């Protein structure tokens, strides 16, 4: 147990307020009493409760980063970049993984409610809950959303333009001569995934091609889902000539399934994956990927948060960034 102000007061035989005045170098305490108190404080290694101090000045120099998916290397990349930005101004981050579970998120919100952190950045995740709304607006807790949507976006946010990203990927595959592009994506009900599907439709429509809905395959976000998606699509009436995978782990599973089937990339199927990270970089052949600008997402979101904490942000800010298409061997037509 840590020694408290109360303990010191008891040992010195004075009131708690006297101890507080002595330790804070305020007038009203006799020389001798002060010396006695300071000696006791030193002897028992007394430190004022940092938490209570945090409450008083409303500053802990800690922020919470609330992460919907720890399995995503892209999210980890954003976290590391937030950490870097925070370090520069002497802030530290504590990381909370919700696994996309709103109940877990709610428990972590107690960190904000109790002022254990000065603010929070949310990375990814489901639609904003009413609790988040309340914490942000009624109680003015500083918070910034990264790649997360609200029904009506009242939050300061940094977003990736997913629709434009997939549009770019489809456009690139069209240029390479591919026309039957399968899209391995998430559920339409998921706002970010429906954005991606929109980008796909838009690219087809603008190019004057019609979309074959059998080529759109909504499935889970894990590796096995990507693997199985390939097998199931191959059983449909239309055989694709290219694949776009809209998430990191499905990309890994998709490539595995193609190779395991004895097919070659890009000879048999072109592939555009998601996320430029150590995982996708290990894949052979070198993979064309859509990549979120992690460093920029991180920097902007932390800067916004810091301004919110310091009461220096005017109104709500929204910044939308475009993913980059990094073209490598996996999407280049061999004989075009």
Residues of the shown chain interacting with its own copies in the complex, contacts defined by CB under 8 A = 1-2, 45, 47, 49-52, 54-55, 64, 70, 76, 79-80, 83, 92-97, 104, 107-108, 110-111, 113-116, 134, 138-140, 223, 249, 252, 256, 259, 278-279, 282-284
* Alpha-carbon gap, residue 185 to 250, rounded angstroms: 8
Nearest-approach distance from CB 240 to its own copies, in angstroms? 23
Nearer to its own copies, 125 or 199 (CB): 125
DSSP annotation string for 169-187: HHHHHHHTT---EEEEE--
Nearest-approach distance from CB 142 to its own copies, in angstroms? 12
Which among 130, 165, 136, 160 has a CA at the least distance from the CA of 148?
160
Nearest-approach distance from CB 22 to its own copies, in angstroms? 21
Nearest-approach distance from CB 30 to its own copies, in angstroms? 30
Nearer to its own copies, 68 or 149 (CB): 68
CB atoms within 10 A of CB 198: 16
Nearer to its own copies, 62 or 333 (CB): 62
Residue with tokens 């980890």: 76
Give the angle subtended at the CA of 41 by the CAs of 37 and 46, to the nearest 5°: 145
Nearest-approach distance from CB 71 to its own copies, in angstroms? 8
* Alpha-carbon gap, residue 185 to 199, rounded angstroms: 12
CB atoms within 10 A of CB 279: 18
Q: Kindly provide the residue ranges of all beta strands, DSSP E only, lying in the chain, ordered along the sequence.
A: 62-67, 92-97, 119-123, 143-146, 157-160, 181-185, 216-218, 242-245, 270-274, 288-291, 318-321, 324-326
Nearest-approach distance from CB 116 to its own copies, in angstroms? 6
Q: Is the dihedral of CA 110, 111, 112, 116 positive or negative?
A: positive
Nearer to its own copies, 54 or 74 (CB): 54
Nearer to its own copies, 24 or 50 (CB): 50
* Alpha-carbon gap, residue 10 to 293, rounded angstroms: 57
């Amino acid at each position: 147990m840590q020694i408290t102000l109360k303990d010191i007061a008891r040992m010195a035989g004075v009131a708690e307020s006297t101890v507080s005045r002595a330790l804070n170098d305020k007038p009203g305490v006799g020389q001798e009493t002060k010396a006695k108190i300071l000696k006791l404080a030193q002897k028992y290694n007394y430190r004022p409760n940092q938490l209570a101090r945090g409450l008083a000045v409303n500053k802990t120099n800690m922020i919470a980063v609330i992460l919907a998916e720890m399995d995503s290397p892209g999210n980890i990349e954003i976290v590391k970049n937030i950490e870097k930005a925070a370090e520069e101004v002497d802030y530290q981050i504590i990381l909370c993984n919700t696994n996309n579970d709103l109940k877990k998120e709610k428990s972590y919100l107690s960190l904000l409610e109790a002022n254990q952190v000065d603010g929070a950045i949310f990375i990814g995740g489901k639609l904003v809950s009413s609790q988040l709304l309340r914490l942000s607006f009624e109680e003015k807790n500083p918070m910034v959303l990264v790649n997360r949507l609200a029904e009506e976006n009242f939050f300061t946010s940094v977003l990736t333009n997913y629709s434009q990203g997939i549009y770019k990927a489809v456009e690139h595959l069209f240029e390479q001569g591919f026309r039957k592009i399968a899209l391995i994506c998430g559920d339409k009900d998921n706002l970010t995934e429906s954005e991606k599907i929109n980008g796909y439709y838009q690219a087809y429509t603008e190019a004057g091609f019609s979309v074959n809905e059998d080529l759109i395959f909504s499935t889970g976000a894990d590796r096995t889902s990507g693997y199985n998606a390939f097998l199931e699509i191959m059983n449909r009436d239309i055989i694709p000539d290219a694949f776009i995978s809209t998430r990191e782990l499905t990309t890994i599973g998709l490539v595995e399934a193609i190779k395991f089937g004895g097919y070659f990339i890009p000879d048999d199927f072109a592939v555009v994956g998601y996320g430029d990270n150590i995982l996708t970089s290990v894949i052979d052949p070198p993979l064309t990927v859509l990549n979120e600008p992690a460093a920029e997402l991180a920097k902007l979101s932390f800067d916004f948060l810091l301004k919110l904490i310091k009461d220096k942000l005017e109104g709500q800010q929204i910044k939308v960034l475009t993913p980059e298409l990094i073209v490598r061997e996996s999407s280049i037509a061999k004989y075009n």
